[in-house]
Amino acid sequence: MKVTNLRLFLAIAAMSLGLNAQAANPHFKVVTNYGEMIIELYPDKAPKTVENFTRYVNSGFYNGTAFHRVLNDFMIQGGAVTADYELKKAEAPIENESGNGLKNEPGTIAVARESDPHSGTSQFFINLDNNKHLNHYKPESYYYGYCVFGKIVKGMDVAKKIGAIPTGAGGPFEANVPKEKVIIETIAAYEIPVAATPVVTEKPSAKPAPKKSPSKTTAKKKDVNHG
């Protein structure tokens, strides 16, 4: 391989690696009867939580479950009950990683739990507002906060649409249940599409093109407890 061709090859490889780096974090597609959402998870910030969520996804636990708790301008919550609001048996609780620096901002996904900071299992919620009161402040139980472990990167309009559904009593729940059922049809791993690297044909007398950086692709306020 000529030196010029080698340089060209290395430049294209570097660009390809740069594009793939954008999809380094795991992504999941949440398909509901109201539309689809793509969420990106942050294993570097919440490794145990991401592992826990991924385990539930891979087992098919979330498929056919409902968003059973909806509070507009606050959050939507699911991951616990079937479409008929029957409670599913979850695995053991996990450690609360709320002190990871991630905040309960619009579009973030976090772990729902009881008053015990370390009681989270399968339930999760998506923040529709900047819910500062849910963030970690101190190691004391009341201030421990709710662990954020990912964020919607596509489909926030779907989450807002769900949040705007009128609510009332439903199943064993006395309030905040969507009057029109919101079903999580599937949650599955999703591979972010990567732009194809263009094929460059080198002219014998042409100088190597300058390297380019890859372009970047572009309640009311209540606690979030189980049930």
With respect to residue 116, please indicate whether it lies within any of the assigned structural domains: yes
Confidence of residue 226 (pLDDT cuts 50, 70, 90): low
Asked if pLDDT for residue 202 goes beyond 60, the answer is no
With respect to residue 186, please indicate whether it lies within any of the assigned structural domains: yes
- The distance from CA 155 to its chain's CA centroid, rounded to whole angstroms, is 11
More confident residue, 223 or 167: 167
Residue that is written with structure tokens 């636990």 in the block: 61
With respect to residue 22, please indicate whether it lies within any of the assigned structural domains: no
With respect to residue 163, please indicate whether it lies within any of the assigned structural domains: yes
With respect to residue 201, please indicate whether it lies within any of the assigned structural domains: no
CB 80 within 8 A of CB 68: yes
With respect to residue 198, please indicate whether it lies within any of the assigned structural domains: no
Question: What does the pLDDT look like over 10-55, one tens digit per residue?
Answer: 444 444 444 444 458 999 999 999 999 999 999 999 999 999 999 9
The structure tokens listed for 110 are: 């976090």
Provide the number of structural domains found in the chain. 1
Spatial neighbors of 227 by CB under 8 A, at least 6 apart, are 68, 69, 80, 172, 173
With respect to residue 107, please indicate whether it lies within any of the assigned structural domains: yes
- Domain containing 124 equals 27-190
Q: How far apart, in whole angstroms, are the C-alpha atoms of residue 187 and residue 48? A: 19
Question: What does the pLDDT look like over 107-136, one tens digit per residue?
Answer: 999 999 999 999 999 999 999 999 999 999
CATH of the domain at 177: 2.40.100.10
The mean per-residue pLDDT over the stretch 182-187 comes to 98
Q: How far apart, in whole angstroms, are the C-alpha atoms of residue 28 and residue 37? A: 8
Instruction: Specify the pLDDT at position 122.
Output: 98
Asked if pLDDT for residue 199 goes beyond 80, the answer is no
Question: What does the pLDDT look like over 47-99, one tens digit per residue?
Answer: 999 999 999 999 999 999 999 999 999 999 999 999 999 999 999 999 999 99
Instruction: Specify the pLDDT at position 193.
Output: 79
Report pTM.
Answer: 0.79
With respect to residue 57, please indicate whether it lies within any of the assigned structural domains: yes
